[in-house]
Structure 1
Amino acid sequence: MSRFVYKQSNSDHTLFFKRRKGLITCLIIYVDDMIITGDDKEEIAKLKGKLFLEFEMKDLGSLKYFLGIEVLRSKKGTFIFQRKYVLDLLTETGMIDCKPIDTPLMINHGLQIIEGGDSVDRKLYQRLVGKLIYLSHTRPDMAYAVGVVSRFMHKPQKQHLEAVYRILRYLKKAPGRGVLYEKHGHLDLHAFTDVDWGGDRDSRKSTSGYFTLVGGNLVSWKSKRQKVVAMSSAEAEFKGIGKGITEVLWLRKLVSALGYKPKKSCKLYCDNKAAI
Structure 2
Amino acid sequence: MLIAGSSMREINNLKTRLSAVFEMKDLGPAKQILGMKISRDRSVCTLNLSQELYIEKMLRRFRINNSKPRTTPLANHFKLSKEYTSLCFVKVKVTLQGFVDTDLGGDVDSSKSTFGYIYTIGGTTVSWMSRLQKCVSLSST
TM-score range, shorter chain: 0.5 to 0.7
The aligned counterpart of 2:130 is: 223
The aligned counterpart of 2:121 is: 214
Q: Which runs of 5+ in 2 are unaligned?
A: 1-9, 70-80
CA distance in 1: counterparts of 2:117 and 2:56, whole angstroms: 28
Matched, 1:73 2:40: yes
CA distance in 2: counterparts of 1:221 and 1:212, whole angstroms: 6
CA distance in 1: counterparts of 2:104 and 2:137, whole angstroms: 8
1:205/1:61 CA distance change after superposition, 3 Å: farther
CA distance in 1: counterparts of 2:110 and 2:30, whole angstroms: 44
Which letter does structure 1 place at the counterpart of 2:49? I
CA distance in 2: counterparts of 1:226 and 1:60, whole angstroms: 49
Q: Which digits, 9 at most, give the CA deviation of each residue in 1:167-206, with x for residues without a partner?
A: 5xxxxxx84433322222x233211111122223444321
Q: CA deviation at 1:82?
A: 4.0
Matched, 1:200 2:135: no
The aligned counterpart of 1:191 is: 98
CA distance in 2: counterparts of 1:198 and 1:220, whole angstroms: 24
Q: Percent identity?
A: 32
Cα RMSD for the two superposed structures: 4.0
CA distance in 1: counterparts of 2:56 and 2:123, whole angstroms: 30
Contact persistence 1:182–1:217 (CA under 8 A): no
Q: Which digits, 9 at most, give the CA deviation of each residue in 1:49-92, with x for residues without a partner?
A: 7xx99xxxxx98754334443221112312233454577799xx
Higher helix fraction (1 or 2): 1
Q: TM-score, normalised by structure 2?
A: 0.52
Matched, 1:181 2:80: no
Q: Which digits, 9 at most, give the CA deviation of each residue in 1:80-138, with x for residues without a partner?
A: 33454577799xx8xxxxxxxxxxxxxxxxxxxxxxxxxxxxxxxx7223xx6xxxxxx
CA distance in 1: counterparts of 2:48 and 2:56, whole angstroms: 18
Q: Which runs of 5+ in 1 are unaligned?
A: 1-40, 54-58, 94-125, 133-162, 168-173, 236-276
Secondary structure class of the residue paired with 1:223: strand
Q: TM-score, normalised by structure 1?
A: 0.30
1:190/1:177 CA distance change after superposition, 3 Å: closer
Matched, 1:128 2:63: yes
